[in-house]
Every structure is written in C-alpha cells, then in structure tokens.
Amino acid sequence: MANYSAGDDKGYEEEIRLLLGYPLMKRCVKNGCVFFKGSIEIDNEDYKVSIEEHPEHGFVLELSPELKNLQQDFSDIMQQQKLTSVISYLDSLRTYIQSKIPAKNPVNHCDIYRQVLYEYSEFTKFYLNLKCCYLAYELNKINITTVDEQNREHSVEIHIDYANVHKIFCIAEYDLPLEKGYFKATSSLRETYDKFVGLVELLQPFFDLMGVFDSCCHILDPVPQKRMYNYRRILIGENLSLIVTVDPFNVTRIPEIKFLGPQRQVEALRTKMNNNLEKWDQTNDTFTEILLLLGMDHFPEKIVDLNEKEDILVGTGDCSICFSSRLNGKLPEVVCKNEFCENYYHVDCLYEWLMAVNARKFFTEVIGNCPNCEKSISCPIPSV
Amino acid sequence: MAGMSPSERRLQKELMSLIKEPPPGVSVDTNIAEQNLLHWVIHMEGAAGTLYEGERFQLQFKFSNKYPFDSPEVTFIGNNIPVHPHVYSNGHICLSILTDDWSPALSVQSVCLSIVSMLSSCKEKQRPPDNTFYVKTCNKNPKKTKWWYHDDSV
C-alpha cells in the first residue's frame, strides 16, 4: 500500500504521473483517508470516479450512476489483483470501461456543413432571378424570395435537417394553396427549390385569378388575402355575400360557389346560377365566366366605411350574439330565414346558445329558435 | 381589443356604444364600468309624461363571464327604487327577459329600453302585492327567484 507522504520521491513521481495520465483526478485527504476524486476521459466522454484508498480493502471504487452496473464486477476483478498503485488501478478501470461500453461513432458535422455551404454557394450562382436569398447563421434554414413572371413575390423557407443526413433539405414554410407535408425532403438544394419554383409556375393561372378578385371585389374573407387561400368571400349586396372556392390546379373548372345571406335572395341567385351552369366556357377567362354564371356585370366595388362601423353596436353582417364580425378567424355564416329578421350568427355562437337551451339535434344540424325573432333556425354542428 | 375573450369584447363594444350613443334618459357610469367590465351602474331618468317624470334611478348590471349566453343580473340600487307593481322595494325586478326569456341577441341597451318602457306604461304607483313577504325571503340574486310573470300589460 502506497502510504506516502509529501517529500517522498515515490509520492512525487506518482503525483506527476497521475497529473499527466489523469489530469481530471485529484488526490485529497479527508478524515485521515486518502481519496482520488474527479473524472476520467474515455472516447471523448467524461466518467465520474471516486476511489478511496482503504488501509484494509485496498482501493474502494465508486462510479457515477450510469456505470453503477460495472462497479461491482470491476471491484471483484481488482480484489484478486491487489494493485498498489492508483495509476495502474485507473489504467485497468479505463480498459475495463472501454471494453464494456462501445465507442460511439461521432458524426462529423464538418463534412455536412461543408456540403451545405457548397450547395448554397452553387445555388446562389445558378439562379439569377432570386430577389433575396439568405442562409441562417446557424446553418439550419435558407430563406429565398423569388419573383414570378407577373412580378409577384414568392417566399420559401427551406429547413436543413442534420438528423436526416441523406434527405437534408426540406421546404417548410411557404404561401401556396397546398396541404401541409406536400413537399418531401431531398438531398439537393437545387432539386428542392426547383420543385417549389415548378409549382409556382404551375399555379400562375390561380394567382392571376385570385389577383383579379382581390383588385375588383370587396373581399370579406380571408384578410389578408394570402396565396395559400383558394377561396374568397365576396360582398355582393348589403347583407349578401358569396364564397367562391377555386381548384388551384384547374382554375378553368366551374368553381364551388356558396351564397350567404337572406334566404329569398340566396335562392334567387342560386336559381339564376343553376340556369347558367350549362353556358360555362372553359376556354374563356374564368373571372368573366364567373360573372356570366352569376348574371352580373361586375362585383360591387370595395366599400370603405371602417370609421362609420365603429359606432354601430351590431353592424350589417355582424354576429348578433358576440356582436363582432370575425371570431377565431371565421365570419358569421348562418342567416335567419325569417325575412323580417335576417340576422347573422357565427356557427360557434349560435350552436353554443342553442345547446344551452336544449335545442334538438337533427343529423348534422341543431334546430332551435332564432335568438332575435324566435322563429325556427337551424345551425350546422361545428366541426371540432 | 386583442387578447380579449368574445364575452369581454362584446361588453367593451356595448360600453363604447352606450357611452357614445346612449338611449334618451340613460347614461352609464363610466368610472365604475371601466374599473370592472363585469359590473356596471346605469343612471336612468323617468320619461317625460309618465308617473316617474323627474325621478332618477340607478340600475346595477352584473355580468358573468358566460355573458351573453348567461343573462345579466339587473337590479335597482340606491335611495330611489321606483314604486312599480313589478319592482320590489329591495330593487329586484320581475321582468321575463332578465331570466326565462333572455336571449343573447338582447343587449344592455335593449334591457334598459325594456325597463324604461315598463316604467312608462305604469298607471298607478304601487309595490307588488307580495312585496313584504318576498323581500324578507328572497335570495340576494334575483336570478335565483322563480318568477311568475303575472301581468304583461304593465
């Protein structure tokens, strides 16, 4: 047992060897017992170790919790060897842990970073019509803005997923009428971007049509008119609007049109539209065709009456329950059929009230009384 | 109005409308309402040409956070409780729209107008016949009372 004291040559030598071999281990004396405490490094990982130099039992080892299962086995082996030097003890421990814990194969991010940087610089050289292009400082995303043939800007955010080395580039944020997860991850930045640009090109007729709506009509919803929305709610009368839903990839097809307003006006419009359905001409301009379908020359122009609206408690088209127009992004959609009432309600508001007064459910609807005129009213059951 | 619940938004809108364009003879105490949006005090004047001409009353509105799905609790408060066959001397009002016939399409303004017209149509100033018994036995909250709406004419 090396029971050395300061000044002892052997003690010095061992202390220096400890410092060189295990710089994170420290010898200390506590209550007359000698301890070696600290950590040892094995394959770039640090393991906490505490060894007591016990006068009778030799070295007594204590390992950190994640290595507790190795502690007893190793101590048993060491019992037979009766080592006297703590250096040899630590050497054996290191060899033992190395043999038990497989070395992790560290991922070399440098190569991937280099590849990303290379792809990015090639990318910026290749495309000339990029309005702005920028790689995040953390190298985790690329933001690109491009301009299409009609001078419309399109932005896309491409995420770089280092956990998925073989398909590292993925389009994450965009303003296109596509469902989430439309784009698949790829290994090439150019390929990823080409897919995006290809779609933007394919959707040109859709952007054109929506642009005409937005410039010629009073749009109630959506606000603001992002490109991801393939519908427009257009004001066509004081208390009357329609929702036109377009197939983004096939704009010349007859769009879905839903009227919202007092029943008699809605029915008159619907009849007119049904009579005109046959005349739909796919080869003609879609906007003109929609007007022909509705039997209208033009849509009413934009009305700017925001200041006036502030003072009115319940404005035209506002919900008569919550007294507002937009609730959780939705506009009032249910209109009382009583022509002397014709009040508007949000589906959510009316449903909540009708359920509170025990109205009866009937398939996909709830039927009760209009909160305003008490005549019968039906409300679709809101989808959760 | 961002960050408000639909209920708070509606109350805020009603308050602004009542301050800007109050019905004749009605004014809201803005100090009290601005401190707590769920508690309003409204000053009301007896309409000209009625039994209550020249009188001033105070109405208290208490709202729950379920308003407008839940009706407001409305009572007369202060020194002058109108003497009326549907108004008890503790301020409770027997008016069907305040309980059974409440609808979320009603508003503070429409309730005030109903109360003004209820007072205006009165032909003889008197307390309800069961006033003494009711005031002794009733709950503090008039919404807990099971009302019998006996007379629609007044």
Residue B107 has a pLDDT of: 93
Plot region of A32 (φ>0 → left; ψ -120 to 50 → alpha; else → beta): left
User: Is the Cβ–Cβ distance between A260 and A330 less than 8 Å?
Assistant: no
Q: Is the pLDDT of residue A5 over 60?
A: no
The CA-based angle B67-B72-B74, given to 5 degrees, is: 165
Q: Which residue of B has its CA nearest to A356?
A: B69
Residue A180 has a pLDDT of: 79
- pLDDT bin (cut points 50, 70, 90) of residue B57 is very high
Q: Is the pLDDT of residue A167 over 50?
A: yes
Q: Is the pLDDT of residue A1 over 50?
A: no
The Cα–Cα gap between A85 and A64 comes to: 22
Q: Is the pLDDT of residue A313 over 80?
A: no
pLDDT in tens, A192-223: 999 999 999 999 999 999 998 888 888 888 88
Please report where in the chains the tokens 């409308």 appear, as a residue.
B17
On whether any CB of chain B is under 8 Å from the CB of A214, the answer is no
User: Is the Cβ–Cβ distance between B113 and B97 less than 8 Å?
Assistant: no
Inter-chain CB proximity B69 and A311 less than 8 Å:
no
Phi, psi of A183 (to 5 degrees): -90, 140
Inter-chain CB proximity A352 and B69 less than 8 Å:
yes
Residue A307 has a pLDDT of: 46
Phi, psi of A242 (to 5 degrees): -135, 150
Residue A310 has a pLDDT of: 54
Percent of chain A clearing pLDDT 90 (strictly above): 19
The sheet that has A169-174: what strands, in order across it?
A130-135, A141-147, A153-160, A169-174
Alpha helices (H) along A22-135: 68-81, 86-100, 109-126
The Cα–Cα gap between A374 and A269 comes to: 26
Inter-chain CB proximity A323 and B14 less than 8 Å:
yes
Cα separation values, B82 from A277, B78, B129, Å: 65, 10, 15
User: Is the Cβ–Cβ distance between B84 and B125 less than 8 Å?
Assistant: yes
For residue B105, give the nearest of A310, A312, A320 by CB distance. Answer: A320
Residue B89 has a pLDDT of: 92
For A145, the token pair is: 């803005």
What is the mean pLDDT of the segment spanning A345-364?
Answer: 89
Cα separation values, A323 from A220, A343, B11, B112, Å: 16, 11, 9, 18
Residue A97 has a pLDDT of: 83
What is the mean pLDDT of the segment spanning A278-298?
Answer: 87
Specify the 3-state DSSP secondary structure of A283. coil
Mutate which of B9, B20, B26, B103 to test chain A, going by most A C-beta atoms within 10 A? Answer: B103
Inter-chain CB proximity B104 and A311 less than 8 Å:
no
pLDDT in tens, A227-269: 899 999 998 887 788 999 999 999 888 899 999 888 888 888 8
Residue A297 has a pLDDT of: 84
Residue B149 has a pLDDT of: 67
Residue A353 has a pLDDT of: 93
Residue A369 has a pLDDT of: 92
The Cα–Cα gap between A147 and A152 comes to: 5
B122 counts as catalytic: no
Q: Is the pLDDT of residue A8 over 80?
A: no
The Cα–Cα gap between A275 and B108 comes to: 47
What is the mean pLDDT of the segment spanning A50-71?
Answer: 82
Residue B139 has a pLDDT of: 85
DSSP letter at A152 equals -
Residue B154 has a pLDDT of: 55
Residue A84 has a pLDDT of: 78
pLDDT in tens, B12-21: 999 988 988 8
For residue B109, give the nearest of A313, A324, A352 by CB distance. Answer: A313
- Closest to A235 (Cα-Cα) out of A299, A296, A314, A290: A299
**Could you tell me which residues come within 8 angstroms of residue B42 by beta carbon, excluding any fewer than 6 positions away?**
B18, B26, B27, B28, B29, B58, B59, B60, B61, B108, B112
User: Is the Cβ–Cβ distance between B86 and B99 less than 8 Å?
Assistant: no
Number of CB atoms found within 10 A of residue B89's CB: 14
**Integer distance in angstroms from the first to the last C-alpha of chain A?**
75
pLDDT in tens, B1-42: 557 888 998 999 999 889 888 888 899 998 888 889 999 999
CATH topology of domain B6-140: Ubiquitin Conjugating Enzyme (3.10.110)
Phi, psi of A354 (to 5 degrees): -60, -40
Average pLDDT of chain A to the nearest whole number:
85
pLDDT in tens, B70-123: 999 999 999 999 999 999 999 999 998 998 889 999 999 999 999 999 999 988
